[in-house]
Amino acid sequence: MTYAELVQTYFERSNALQWYWTLYVVIIGGLLAFASLRKTPDRLTTLLVTVLFCFFAYKNLGAIQDVSIQRFAILDAIKEILTSNHDAPVGIASKFIGPTLQPPAFEGVRIFHIASSLLTVAAIWAMELRRKRAAAQPLL
């Protein structure tokens, strides 16, 4: 692959990664909206929603990991082209684009994803407990 094709592929993988994060945020927003609009307590529904969300979050994190690995592999190939072939016509753009290609380490991404998922589950259950307390209080 040429330098230009590698850079193009790198940004395509970056776009794919952004779509996984967008999907994750939309699902969390929908779940929290669903949980906040329910009126009556129902632990079974809350448990089912929690389990399904955990399955989704696990698969979403796996997809994010796969794309992150691909981005790092492409970045390594880009660096290899720049260091091994000084006579290649990669253009002046490589001098400016190269330093900006700095994807975050996956470990930090994984920790953030897991923390966000745990906070989402906590929020879903906090709303369930609030509904239970509200249902137990006598009406005035």
What is the per-residue pLDDT across 115-130, written as a single tens digit (0 to 9) for each?
999 999 999 999 999 9
Q: Which residue has the tokens 């906070």?
A: 119
pTM of the model: 0.85
Residue 126 confidence (pLDDT): 96
SS3 138: coil
Q: Write the pLDDT tens digit of every residue in 30-39.
A: 999 999 998 8
* Three-state SS sequence of 96-126: HHHHHCCCCCHHHHHHHHHHHHHHHHHHHHH
